[in-house]
Amino acid sequence: MARPIWTGSISFGLVSIGVEMSTVVRDRSIHFHMLNKEGTCRLRRKLVCPDSGKEYDFGQTSRGIEVGPGEYVLIDQKEIAKIKPEKGRSLEIVQFAAVEEIDPIHYENVYYLRPSKDARKPYKLLTDAMAQSGKIALGKFVMRDKEHLVVIRPVEETLVLHTLHYSDEVEAIDAELIDSMKKIKVSAPELKMAGELIKAMTTELDLAEFKDEFRAQLKVLVDAKVKGKNIKMPTDDQERVAEPKTINLMDALKKSLAAGPAKFNTATHHHRRSA
């Protein structure tokens, strides 16, 4: 069980539900460090003025916000402290909504919400009531000096929390692109053929089948180096992918359907490994 990164309570009307929040996603990426060429010394970054070349310690720094090219407004730590959101242990549900009302583009990070030992009954009540209503909850709480807008949704017998990007953080779709795309005409036969290809490629989804193959190969390489073994890796020629060619759209759709979804998926996975 992951260690809680936040503990508090969900405020549901006058009902208070004690919860512990833990991460859902575990970063399994292999991280590189900057070393000298011999690999005997880990390098560190310095705080250096590009104009004078003078090096500074962290204690000699100040915080500033750029308001123009090369122009900064200094903000004192005490001034920041005065306007920081007040740390609390309450996550207030402000309203309920249908899940389709929120575009997935707003979703940011995801966490599990577990009930505290004495809050299982009200936690169960909220989970079941939300599942029965088919609604999600929108709430706000403060974590790590930031006020987060969140969505809470029931998943099986538990609650999952998603932090959201605020609306002003999400860039609008390019209106010029939308207008230009509306002017492009797709023929009925092309649309029908594309629909048939989608249907042919629609199978039962199992996300566990999708693997980060680059990470797997990198781990093999690292393990082999640790053990002092030499392993054969794909050459550039083996990895090279043919450049896409401009072809007739209907011909491409017909060939894709003729190839069958299994053959198409194999080619897709190979392209992903080679990309």
| pLDDT at residue 141, rounded to an integer | 93
Which pair of tokens denotes residue 113? Answer: 């919400």
Which of 26, 159, 168 lies closest to 106, judged by CA?
Answer: 168
Q: Nearest 5 degrees, angle CA 233-CA 234-CA 235?
A: 115
- CA distances to 33, 108, 250, 251, 263 from 254, in Å: 48, 39, 6, 5, 14
| pLDDT at residue 275, rounded to an integer | 37
Asked if residue 264 has pLDDT above 60, the reply is: no
Do 11 and 92 touch, CB atoms closer than 8 A? yes
Long-range CB contacts (within 8 A, 24+) of 126-134: 126/10, 126/12, 126/15, 126/17, 126/159, 127/154, 127/157, 127/158, 127/159, 128/154, 130/96, 130/154, 130/159, 133/96, 134/98, 134/99
Residues in Cβ contact with 134 at an 8 Å cutoff, skipping those fewer than 6 apart: 98, 99
Do 160 and 112 touch, CB atoms closer than 8 A? yes
pLDDT in tens, 6-51: 999 999 888 999 999 999 988 888 888 899 888 889 988 889 998 8
Whole-prediction pTM: 0.73
Q: How far apart are CA 170 and CA 163, in angstroms?
A: 14
DSSP tag of 209:
G
Cα dihedral 192, 193, 199, 201 in deg (nearest 10): -160
pLDDT greater at residue 149 or residue 31: 149
Tell me the average pLDDT of the chain: 85
Which pair of tokens denotes residue 82? Answer: 């005065």
pLDDT in tens, 57-116: 988 889 899 999 989 999 988 888 888 777 778 999 999 999 999 999 999 999 999 999
Q: Is 91 helix (H, G, I), strand (E, B) or coil?
A: strand
pLDDT in tens, 106-132: 999 999 999 998 999 999 999 999 999
